[in-house]
Amino acid sequence: MAKLTQQIAVLERIDQLIRLKATGRPKQLAERLEVSEATVFRMIETMKELNAPICYDLTRQSYVYTETTNFKCGFYVEELDEISERNLSGGCGFGNMKRLLKF
C-alpha cells in the first residue's frame, strides 16, 4: 500500500509541475522527484494511458498539457440529486429505501 501511495504522490507532483510548465528535461525531473529517469518515463506513459494530453515542449524543455485538464486521484464524497440517487439505487430514492427498511 505504501508503494501505491508513493506512486500517487509522484503522479500528483508531476501533474503540478506540468501545470507550471516546469518539469525540465526528463533527467532533471527524475532528480527533482528522487526517482530514476525510467520511472519518469513510466509515469508519463501511465498518465497518457489515463488520457492525459501530455507532450514534451522542446522550446520550454518541459512536459506540458496540450489542452486544459484536471487530474484527481482519490476518493471524494459527492452529494447526489434525487434523480441520480434513484438511478444508483435501481429506481428507488434513498428516502423510500429508509421507509422500506423500517417495516
* pLDDT tens, residue by residue, 51-101: 899 999 999 999 999 999 888 776 666 777 777 777 776 665 555 555 556
Predicted pLDDT at 93 = 55
Instruction: Tally Cβ neighbours within 10 Å of residue 11.
Output: 18
The answer for 92, left when phi > 0, alpha when psi is -120 to 50, beta otherwise, is beta
In this predicted structure, the answer to whether residue 7 has a pLDDT above a threshold of 60 is: yes
Predicted pLDDT at 80 = 72
Of 42, 45, 47, the closest CA to residue 16 belongs to 47
Grid cell of 69 as nine digits: 485538464
In this predicted structure, the answer to whether residue 45 has a pLDDT above a threshold of 60 is: yes
Grid coordinates 423500517 are at which residue?
102
In this predicted structure, the answer to whether residue 11 has a pLDDT above a threshold of 70 is: yes
d(CA 70, CA 77): 17
- The fraction of the chain above a pLDDT of 90, given in percent, is 54
